[in-house]
C-alpha cells in the first residue's frame, strides 16, 4: 500500500500533522499504535490546552482531534509498526499483522512511555496493584491506600484524581521539594487525603500475586521501613519511544530523536514531532504545535519532490533519446 504521508502515532502531534496534511488533500494514513490518542488519554483533566476554559479530559481532547482530522480525509489503522526501513524512499513500514505500508513521507509521532522504577516486584505486580494510569484503574482502589511516586506534574495530577476514590494517598518523593506546577502543589498540600514522605525512595514492591506494601529507604538517614499499601503508581517521568529508529536517525543521550528545529530529521522526507523529540516542554500544546510544523514540512517536501519529478520528466526524453532539432530548440527557449 503506497501512501503520500504516513504518520506513526495518534497523540496531539500525530493528529495535528494529520489535520494539516489532510487539508492539503494528501490523504494521510495514521497508524494509531498501542495507545490510540497517545499518553494524554490517561490524563483525567487537561487544564492548560487553550480553548477549553472548563478543562477537558485527555481522551475527549484527542478524540475531538481525531474527528477533526478524519473530516478532511485522514485514514486510520489500528495496528502497530514493528519495523521501519528508512534506507530508501518510499519508506517501508511493517505492521504487527505482517502488512507492508509504503510511505513517500513519514511523520514520527510515537510519543513517550512511562519510565519504570526497575525495582524488585514492579514487573511481577504490574496490573496487580502496580499501575501507571490512575484514570484507567483508580476506581479499583476505592477506600484503599495507594502510594504515588514522583514529584512532577504527572504525580500530582494523577494523585489528585486518585483522591476521589482512595482513603489515603502517600506521595513518596526523593527530594523535599516538588517540581510540579505551583497550582497543583497548592491543591495537593490542601488535600487532606494526601500525606507526603520526603527524601525517600521505594526500593521494592511487596506482595506475591497482589501488592501488599512497599519497602522505603530514607535518602537522608539510610533508614529502611515498610509501608502497607494496596496500590503503587510510579510517575517518575517518561522515555521516548525511539526503538524503531535506532541506527537510522540520530538519538541524543536521553533517547530523544534529533531534529533540526523544523521537525526535519537528517533523512529527507522523515519528520518527527511531539514527546519523541521534545525533552524541554513535553506539553500537549507544544506537541500539537510541532505536529503542525511537521505537517507543513511534509506538504512543502512533497511539493518540492513533485516539482523535481516534473522537471526531470521534461528533461528526461531529451537525455534518453535525441529529439528532432526543432523540438529541442523550443525546450531550450522555454
Angle, helices 284-320/12-23, rounded to nearest 10 degrees = 40
Site for ligand NAP in 42-61 (CB under 6 A): 43, 48
Catalytic residue check, 137? yes
- Write out the three cell numbers for 110: 510515537
Using CB under 6 A as the binding criterion, the count of chain residues that bind ligand NAP stands at 19
Name the active-site residue from 78, 85, 96, 136.
136
DSSP at 326: H
Cβ proximity of 174 and 203 under 8 Å: no
Rounded least distance, CB 282 to ligand NAP, Å: 4
Report the residue number, 8 or 180, with the smaller CB distance to ligand NAP.
Answer: 180
Q: Which residues contact 291 (CB under 8 A, 6 or more apart)?
A: 12, 13, 14, 15, 16, 17, 18, 19, 20, 107, 109, 273, 274
How far from 177 is each of 171, 180, 189, 201, 214, CA to CA, in Å? 12, 9, 12, 14, 22
Does residue 38 touch ligand NAP according to CB under 6 A?
A: no
Site for ligand NAP in 251-310 (CB under 6 A): 282
Does residue 150 touch ligand NAP according to CB under 6 A?
A: yes
Count the helix, strand and coil residues of the chain and give each as a percent rounded to the nearest 5: 35, 25, 40
Report the residue number, 28 or 150, with the smaller CB distance to ligand NAP.
Answer: 150
Does residue 25 touch ligand NAP according to CB under 6 A?
A: no
- Write out the three cell numbers for 72: 478532511
- From 6-14, 102-110, 233-241, 322-330, give the range in contact with ligand NAP by CB under 6 A: 233-241
Catalytic residue check, 292? no
Farthest CA pair distance, the chain? 93
Rounded CA separation 41/56 (Å): 11
Rounded CA separation 30/36 (Å): 10
Cβ proximity of 270 and 249 under 8 Å: yes
By CB under 6 A, name the one of 132, 141, 165, 235 that touches ligand NAP: 235
Report the residue number, 46 or 270, with the smaller CB distance to ligand NAP.
Answer: 46
Rounded least distance, CB 155 to ligand NAP, Å: 6
Does residue 238 touch ligand NAP according to CB under 6 A?
A: yes
The 10 Å Cβ neighbour count of residue 325 is: 7
Cβ proximity of 178 and 150 under 8 Å: no
CA 66 to chain centre: 15
- What does the per-residue mask of binding to ligand NAP show for 153-182, with x meaning CB under 6 A? xxx-x----------------xx---x---
How far from 66 is each of 109, 126, 245, 282, CA to CA, in Å? 14, 30, 25, 20
Q: Which residue is nearest to ligand NAP (CB)?
A: 152
- From 8-16, 146-154, 240-248, 316-324, give the range in contact with ligand NAP by CB under 6 A: 146-154
Report the residue number, 59 or 72, with the smaller CB distance to ligand NAP.
Answer: 59
Site for ligand NAP in 65-84 (CB under 6 A): none
Rounded CA separation 200/85 (Å): 44
Report the residue number, 29 or 160, with the smaller CB distance to ligand NAP.
Answer: 160
- What does the per-residue mask of binding to ligand NAP show for 186-215, with x meaning CB under 6 A? ---------------x--------------
The catalytic residue positions are 133, 136-137
Residue numbers at the binding site for ligand NAP (CB under 6 A): 43, 48, 149-155, 157, 174-175, 179, 201, 235-238, 282
Amino acid at each position: 500500500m503506497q501512501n503520500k504521508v504516513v504518520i506513526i502515532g495518534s497523540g496531539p502531534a500525530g493528529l495535528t500533522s494529520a489535520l494539516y496534511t489532510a487539508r492539503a488533500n494528501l490523504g494521510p494514513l495514521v497508524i494509531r499504535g498501542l495507545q490510540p490518542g497517545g499518553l494524554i488519554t490517561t490524563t483525567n483533566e487537561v487544564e492548560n490546552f487553550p480553548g477549553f476554559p472548563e478543562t477537558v479530559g485527555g481522551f475527549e481532547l484527542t478524540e475531538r482531534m481525531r474527528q477533526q482530522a478524519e473530516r478532511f480525509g485522514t485514514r486510520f489503522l489500528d495496528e502497530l509498526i514493528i519495523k521501519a526501513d528508512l534506507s530508501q524512499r518510499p519508506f517501508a513500514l511493517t505492521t504487527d499483522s505482517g502488512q507492508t505500508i509504503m510511505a513517500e513521507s513519514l511523520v514520527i509521532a510515537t510519543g513517550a512511555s512511562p519510565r519504570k522504577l526497575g525495582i524488585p516486584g514492579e514487573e511481577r505486580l504490574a496490573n496487580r496493584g502496580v499501575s501507571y494510569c490512575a484514570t484507567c484503574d483508580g476506581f479499583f482502589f476505592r477506600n484503599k491506600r495507594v502510594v504515588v511516586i514522583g514529584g512532577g506534574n504527572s504525580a500530582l495530577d494523577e494523585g489528585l484524581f486518585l483522591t476521589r476514590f482512595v482513603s489515603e494517598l502517600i506521595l513518596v518523593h526523593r527530594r523535599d521539594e516538588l517540581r510540579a506546577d505551583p497550582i497543583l502543589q497548592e491543591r495537593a498540600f490542601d488535600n487532606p487525603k494526601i500525606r507526603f514522605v520526603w527524601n525517600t525512595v521505594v526500593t521494592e514492591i511487596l506482595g506475591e500475586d497482589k501488592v501488599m506494601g512497599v519497602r522505603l529507604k530514607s535518602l537522608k538517614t539510610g533508614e529502611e521501613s515498610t509501608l502497607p499499601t494496596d496500590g503503587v503508581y510510579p510517575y517518575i517521568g517518561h522515555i521516548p519511544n525511539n526503538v524503531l529508529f535506532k541506527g537510522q536517525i540520530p538519538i541524543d543521550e536521553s533517547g530523544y530523536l534529533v531534529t533540526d528545529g523544523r521537525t526535519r530529521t537528517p533523512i529527507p522526507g522523515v519528520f518527527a514531532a511531539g514527546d519523541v523529540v521534545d525533552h524541554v516542554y513535553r506539553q500537549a500544546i507544544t506537541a500539537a504545535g510541532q505536529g503542525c510544523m511537521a505537517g507543513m514540512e511534509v506538504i512543502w517536501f512533497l511539493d518540492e519532490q513533485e516539482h523535481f519529478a516534473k522537471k526531470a520528466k521534461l528533461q528526461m526524453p531529451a537525455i534518453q533519446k535525441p529529439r528532432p532539432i526543432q523540438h529541442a530548440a523550443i525546450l531550450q527557449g522555454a
